Amino acid sequence: MPIKHSGLDRFIIVMNAIFLTLAVLIVVLPLTYVVIASFMDPSVLLSKGLSFHLSDWSLEGYKKILSNPAMIRGFGNAVLYSVSFAILTVVISICAGYALSDDRLKGKSFFMTLFIITMFFGGGLIPTYLLVKNLGLLDTIWAVIIPGAVSVWNIILSRTFFKGVPNELKDAANVDGASEMRIFTSIVLPLSKPIIFVLALYAFVGQWNSYFDAMIYLDNPNLHPLQLVLRSILIQNQVDPGMISDQLAMAEMKRLSEIIKYAAIVVSSLPLIIMYPFFQKYFEKGVMVGSLK
């Protein structure tokens, strides 16, 4: 039976639509501005702002940013770090989550407590830094991918997922004489594609977007991931000197710095823009699979 709306109800429904539209605009407008600005001719952008005449558009920003060696290296490093981090963290969480979902694992609550304590208490920045330093991991990829590889949240997510896998499946295989390892690799893992996919996506994005660990652990600029390169371009205003020929330096830099920033933002977000539609299916899963209680 359809719901009957009073006059007040209808007013609220209209206001609701207006406010939601506003919210969408608040999100979309700044992003659209950045994308359009990145395609502008730098001089036009400086003098007139955005323009929709095709003659005012150019790819100069993209040419500059794509010929910046630091940017290319940063992009490559970010891909390497994010992919390795995603693989590592998925393997660890899936294995641990599966083990913790099995009733035959003795000491389960001990292990869970061990993990959960770390969600609320930690040694802090300095002791962690000293540890990484003492282990000789400074200026290596390991400093960026290992210390954060165990995510308690991910372990809980995958444990909850495996608890939903019917025990009968495992038992049937057990009766057939399959070893524990066979059961895990050939029965359970093929069923876990959704959870693997969700965890990998979030791990990839998290690593792609982070700069902090790289900033404190990686001194060598050749190892810097994209976000650190972006930080120097966007926030510290250091456009790589190699990007602009020396004689023209100052004036040219002033002309180009804006457009380079816009283009850098777009280029750095490309992988996420491409992945975003894949996320859509898993938005709610990611949050709800391990729902809080």
**Residues 32-71, interacting with another protein (CB under 8 A):** 33-34, 49
Which one of residues 56, 240, 252, 258 is an interface residue with another protein (CB under 8 A)?
A: 258
Instruction: Output the six-digit token pair for 167.
Output: 């025990």
Assess contact for 265 and 32: CB atoms under 8 A.
no
Dmax of the chain from CA atoms?
79
Q: Exposed (0-12), middle (13-18) or buried (19+): which is 226, by Cβ within 10 Å? A: buried
For residue 68, count other CB atoms closer than 10 A to its CB: 22
Per CB under 8 A, the list member of 40, 227, 239, 263 interacting with another protein is: 227
For position 169 contacting another protein by CB under 8 A, the verdict is no
**Of the candidate residues 35, 147, 187, 255, the single one contacting another protein (CB under 8 A):** 147
Say if residues 180 and 122 touch (Cβ distance below 8 Å). Answer: no
Structure-block tokens of residue 142 = 């390991």
Q: Which of 54, 175, 181, 250 binds another protein (CB under 8 A)?
A: 181
Q: Is 247 in the site for another protein (CB under 8 A)?
A: no
Near another protein by CB under 8 A: residue from 69, 127, 241, 242: 127
Answer for which of 187, 231, 240, 253 binds another protein (CB under 8 A) is 231
Contact range with another protein by CB under 8 A, out of 58-66, 114-122, 191-199, 244-252: 114-122
d(CA 215, CA 144): 10
Q: DSSP code of 241?
A: G
Q: Is 149 in the site for another protein (CB under 8 A)?
A: yes
Residue 212, burial from CB neighbour count under 10 angstroms (0-12, 13-18, 19+): exposed
Contacting range for another protein; rule: CB under 8 A; set: 55-63, 68-76, 79-87, 268-276: 268-276
100 touches another protein by CB under 8 A: yes
Of the listed pieces 59-67, 192-200, 243-251, 269-277, which binds another protein according to CB under 8 A?
269-277
Whole-angstrom distance, CA of residue 101 vs CA of residue 111: 12
Task: Name the residue nearer to another protein (CB basis): 32 or 222.
Answer: 32
